[in-house]
A and B are shown apart, each in its own frame.
Chain A
């Protein structure tokens, strides 16, 4: 039901309805022009016939992956088969850029086109989108919009989409500031009909002229007018006044509120979203839930965020003003308010909100503590980017003075493939005196550093094994959230140093210790177990582990964590062993190209991948490509003198793929006859018999064949002959 003071603006609703035949409606006007209200009314009017999927954007959504996840969630609410809708799309939200736009979006578009209902997709507050990738994806979507979908973009600034083209082709409906401004009739309706203020036409036109029809301004004036005896005098004061009308808020509207309500509004203005218990904690009083409900009922500036009526927020303009009012008059309160909200948010499990409050309050010590307490859960679920963002809001000095923050930063750098920065932060961490355990559960700085070194192996394999042993000593507790990673580090370093059989147990232990959220640890543990099994010839087991890792990675795709490339490497390796060469190549090439983008990653998985890829390329006919992969591997090894089993493995492969000497003379007809027989099962004697020559002749011919083909064995001769198309 529209609220009484909310004008139902029929001409605009008509405009929107008539535009359903267009592709896009763009509602573009500054804050306070009633864009959201208009769209909400439109939804109420049309909902019987058309499905509305609504996305309210905020600054956090400025990332194409988050944007499209929101859109997908909103669409799912309105489609009949919500379970399956868009499930392929979610999986495909991996690489950005071309693959997202070229592959993933078309999938979604096709699914939408297959729906029988018409859908209106609303993107509200689109001005928060600033990423070029986001705009590109939306532009593509618009270009290929299915007939049954209408897109509405509501924004404070014109979206950087090809609007000119859409306009020219008649595919876009626009509602702009001019149309959203109140007319005389509408102002009259609001002030007189709806709010019963009895304002005459002259006074009305003074107000209209001063506000230029700005609905928020007019609404504010109406609230002030409710408390005025002499309405005419109040409005007359606007004549020729240059005062920014919103500044009235402090004196007029707030002044007439009961003291407790005013104070409530001011104190809660520090919050982005409000709920009863949170407001109680912040204001130090009880009964906030009821205050919020009452405010939402009587006031347009409080917006309900959910259906249950538990969460609210202020209209953006209102909260800005309240905050400035608070900062001007009671600035000393602000830090305490933010601290209280941060504490409540952390207690209620809203860690990001808690951290944001601390950072906004410039309470970097608390922010740092919160970040260290909670980062591991986010990182091991794949949300390293979130943790990175938190770190970026802390001043360098805060980080540099805190061992736990330095150590954590080292982890984030390693996860992001930034090796040198990782080592820098590790050294910093180790240089800061710190006693005892760290807030993230690490037993000590030394323990954390050992686990880190053991997990990434930057200093060479032998040092990695030592670090892993040290880590296991320093962190023996099975219940620690680090336990799984410690076991993994031990297992993986043993594998890399050639102790395959010893690697199995710690890797299996790691798996059994991974809790529900530690997907990344499971992925790497499964991948290494797959390597172990493959080396032991247990291909079925190896494939099963690799596929399990792969399945986990699919769910983590949107986060783009480089370490997930271990899964395709494991799978590729197994597939190669099982002769499924093309599939193997696809997995390996994909994984390696992802790893190449970040030269600071751990070299060992890359080496495993390259050593698996080289023979695959060669077997598929690209020997030169195989040699190139080995050359890449050799270049990497040059930087790592302490490299376990790898030099030997590499040499073995290099020998197999050695470049052949150039053809020394053509094969004679007789030699070709022999060559053809070489491909079969006959012995030299039997070959001689079938060719009616002496065995010694055949033997001489075979030597000549080998020489000319540059090989030294029958198998190699056959292979080479086939490669050259001779047989």
Chain B
């Protein structure tokens, strides 16, 4: 029964998910996906991080939808997987 007052997030539990969206997101968007690592690769953006539960996951998916991003894949990774380190970014600028 719900008691009222949320539990502080226990980083020990949860599954690591790997979510891929199309297009490369600027670092500013990391703020949209708190708690997730963000890296760009081959024209896509990969979000990896520990997801506490299904509502948490759907919140992230809603956010992706809310940004008009195209969702390419959602994968639950095996327990021993770790989020990959952030790849070094190219300098910002429309001129590539």
User: Which residues of A are in contact with B by a Cβ distance under 8 Å?
Assistant: 30-32, 127, 156-157, 214, 216-217, 234, 237, 241-248, 250-252, 316-317, 320, 323-325, 327-329, 388, 391-400, 409, 412-413, 418, 421
Contact = CB atoms under 8 A, between A and B. Distances in A.
A207 to B, nearest CB: 13
B26 A244 contact: yes
20 contacts: A30-B65, A127-B65, A217-B68, A242-B23, A242-B42, A243-B24, A246-B67, A247-B26, A248-B94, A251-B94, A317-B68, A323-B31, A391-B4, A392-B5, A395-B8, A397-B5, A397-B8, A400-B5, A409-B4, A412-B4
Query: Which of A246, A398, A418, A421 is most buried by chain B, counting CB atoms within 10 A of its CB?
Result: A246
B66 A396 contact: no
A505 B10 CA distance: 54
Contacts of A388: 4
B4 A250 contact: no
Interface string B13-56: 00000000001111111111000000010111100000000000
B28 A325 contact: yes
B73 interface: no
A392 B30 CA distance: 27
B4 A234 contact: no
B25 A247 contact: yes
Given A156-B65, A394-B5, A398-B5, A327 B24 contact: no
Query: Which of B24, B25, B67, B68 is most buried by chain A, counting CB atoms within 10 A of its CB?
Result: B68
A421 B66 contact: no
B95 A237 contact: yes
Contact of A399 (B1, B4, B44): B4
A157 B42 CA distance: 27
A394 B68 CA distance: 31
Interface in B60-77: 62, 65-69
Nearest to A243: B24
A605 B40 CA distance: 64
Contacts of B25: 244, 247
B88 interface: no
A391 B3 CA distance: 9
A570 B3 CA distance: 32
A127 B58 CA distance: 13
B31 A243 contact: no
Query: Which of A241, A242, A399, A400 is most buried by chain B, counting CB atoms within 10 A of its CB?
Result: A242
Given A324-B31, A399-B5, A31 B95 contact: no
Contacts of A30: 65, 68
Given A31-B66, A317-B68, A320-B67, A396 B3 contact: yes
Interface of B: 1-8, 23-32, 40, 42-45, 62, 65-69, 92-96
Nearest to A157: B65
Nearest to A210: B23
B68 to A, nearest CB: 5
Contacts of B42: 242
A332 to B, nearest CB: 14
Nearest to B64: A30
A31 B66 CA distance: 6
Contacts of A156: 65-66
A325 B27 CA distance: 10
A594 to B, nearest CB: 19
A214 B4 contact: no
A246 B4 CA distance: 39
Given A391-B5, A396-B5, A327 B31 contact: yes
A396 B96 CA distance: 49
A217 B94 CA distance: 15
Contacts of B29: 244, 247, 324
A329 B27 CA distance: 11
A242 B45 CA distance: 10
Nearest to A326: B31
B58 to A, nearest CB: 9
A685 B28 CA distance: 105
Contacts of A243: 23-24, 26, 94, 96
Contacts of A418: 1
Query: Which of A250, A320, A388 is most buried by chain B, counting CB atoms within 10 A of its CB?
Result: A320
A344 to B, nearest CB: 24
B48 to A, nearest CB: 18
B28 A250 contact: yes
A244 B29 CA distance: 10
Contact of B94 (A252, A324, A327): A252
Contacts of B3: 396, 421
Given A156-B66, A418-B1, A393 B6 contact: yes
A241 B43 CA distance: 8
A505 B26 CA distance: 70
Contact of B6 (A214, A252, A396): A396
Which A-B residue pairs are the 9 nearest by beta carbons? A242-B43, A396-B5, A247-B26, A244-B23, A327-B31, A328-B28, A391-B4, A324-B31, A399-B5
A31 B68 contact: yes
Given A127-B62, A396-B6, A400-B5, 12 more contacts: A242-B43, A242-B44, A243-B26, A243-B96, A246-B67, A247-B28, A247-B29, A320-B32, A329-B28, A399-B4, A412-B4, A413-B4
A228 to B, nearest CB: 10
Contacts of B28: 247, 250, 324-325, 327-329
A245 B43 CA distance: 12
B31 A31 contact: no
Given A216-B68, A317-B67, A421 B1 contact: yes
A271 to B, nearest CB: 17
Given A247-B26, A248-B94, A324-B29, A31 B6 contact: no
B1 A234 contact: no
Contacts of B31: 323-324, 327-328
A251 B3 CA distance: 46
A31 B24 CA distance: 18
Nearest to B3: A421
A392 B67 contact: no
A431 B57 CA distance: 39
A31 B92 contact: no
A393 B8 CA distance: 11
A458 to B, nearest CB: 17
Contacts of B65: 30-31, 127, 156-157
Nearest to A408: B4
B2 A392 contact: yes
A395 B5 contact: yes
A207 B89 CA distance: 24
B4 A241 contact: no
Nearest to B28: A328
Contacts of B5: 391-392, 394-400, 409
A297 to B, nearest CB: 25
Contacts of B24: 242-244
A131 to B, nearest CB: 14
Nearest to B5: A396
Nearest to B8: A395
B68 A237 contact: no
A395 B42 CA distance: 41
Contacts of B44: 242
A252 B95 CA distance: 12
A561 B32 CA distance: 38
Nearest to B93: A251
Contacts of A244: 23-26, 29, 45, 69
